[in-house]
Amino acid sequence: MSSYLPLFLLFLIAAVLAVVLFTLATVLGPKNPTPEKLMPFECGGDSEGSRFVRPSVKFYLTAILFVVFDIEVVLMYPWVVSFKSLGWMGFVTMASFVSLLVVALAYVWKKGALEWEK
Amino acid sequence: MSGIGTFDLLFFGLTTLLVLLGGIGTVAAKNPIRGAMGLLTAIVGIAGMYLQLAAEFLAAIQIIVYAGAVVVLFLFVIMLLGPQATTSAGAAGTKVSRYFGAGVLLVTSVGAMSLLWRTRTEIAALPKLPPGHGTIEGIGRELFTTHIVPFELSGALLLVAVVGAVAVARGKQIDPTSAVKVAVAKKPTKQASGEAEAHTAHAKEAG
């Protein structure tokens, strides 16, 4: 547990640094707002329409597929570390697991979910 | 409680604070993006708790999968819904379900506390963990010797998740007008026309 002290200190320093920098910027920064400055900037012209543009659902699909294959890779991690002591049994187990996900990959590929334009 | 040092106590306090503040931020934030950031804070705190419970692999997974991927997924959902999306605060039944949820939480919390109090002597006498428990080697040994079936089942679950994600996301994308146009413009083979019909039916359902 205490071997993670450096990691803990890293998190602590990062958090303190972020808070200190933002506080300093808020406290020390000069503030002189004018109506022109407060206007939303859009290449010099007056801005039109809503700020919100709905992103494509493709981003969501890509993100979900990323999560699934991320979990696959994370489960490979303990297998790799104890690969030698597990022997062939471990290899066969992981091979069948990966073959299941190869089916998933083939399905995704066939459906064209990996292609952006379709 | 003699084995707990000052650093451990401090660390536990800090992670508890992170989890509590993050949880409150998640439910209290008006802006859903801030809510997601609160969730991120709570997740990092939970990772710290796992670390303190000697579940090092779980802590790493908590950071990689939950903080790295799941929160990003939530952010995508929030962006897809847009700023017009609001909670159904005024809807009928919301108040009832809220109080019901709070009541369930209260009862389970009190139950857990009383269980903890009644078993405090047994908890103090728990055996020490074997060395290597919770590390990546330990998890690997356990996962690939005694827990092979759940591991393989998780592979099947991931496969189902992929199929479900593709079915949901690609089903919604079909523009009803384009499906009809394709059906009309192309001199369709039997299979293609069947597909187009299915798409049109789906689009009608969705719209």
pLDDT digits (tens, 9 = 90+) for A15-34: 999 999 999 999 998 888 88
pLDDT at B67 over 80: yes
* ipTM reported for the complex, 2 dp: 0.73
pLDDT at B181 over 50: no
Q: Where are the domains of chain B?
A: 1-85, 129-173, 175-207
Q: Which residue is listed with tokens 């897809």?
A: B80
Residue of B nearest to A116 (CA): B170
Which CATH fold would you assign to the domain B1-85? Four Helix Bundle (Hemerythrin (Met), subunit A) (1.20.120)
Residues of chain B neighbouring A4 (CB-CB closer than 8 A): 51
Residues of chain B neighbouring A66 (CB-CB closer than 8 A): 69
- In this complex, do A81 and B79 lie within 8 Å of one another by their Cβ atoms? no
A1 vs B183 pLDDT, higher one: A1
pLDDT at B45 over 90: yes
pLDDT for residue A1: 57
- In this complex, do A82 and B144 lie within 8 Å of one another by their Cβ atoms? yes
Nearest to A79 among B73, B77, B144 (CB): B144
pLDDT at A100 over 60: yes
Which own/partner contact pairs does A108-112 have at CB distance under 8 Å and 24+ positions apart? A108/A65, A108/B162, A108/B166, A111/B166, A111/B170
Radius of gyration, CA atoms only, chain B = 25
Residue of A nearest to B134 (CA): A78
- DSSP 8-state secondary structure symbol assigned to residue B46: H
Identify which of B30-34, B38-42, B54-58, B144-148 has the greatest average pLDDT: B38-42
Q: State how far the Cα of B59 lies from the Cα of A2, in Å rounded to an integer.
A: 15
Question: What is the distance in angstroms between the Cα of A28 and the nearest Cα belonging to chain B?
Answer: 25
Q: State how far the Cα of A50 lies from the Cα of B150, in Å rounded to an integer.
A: 49
Tell me which CATH code domain A2-111 carries.
1.20.58
Cβ contacts of A104 within 8 Å, gap of 6 or more: A68, B158, B159, B162, B163
- How many interface pairs between A and B have CB atoms less than 8 angstroms apart? 130
- Tell me if the pTM is above 0.80: no
**B163 close to A104: Cβ distance less than 8 angstroms:** yes
Euclidean distance between the first and the last CA atom of chain B, given in angstroms as a whole number? 62
Q: State how far the Cα of A103 lies from the Cα of A107, in Å rounded to an integer.
A: 6
- Residue A42 backbone dihedrals phi, psi, to 5 degrees: -140, 80
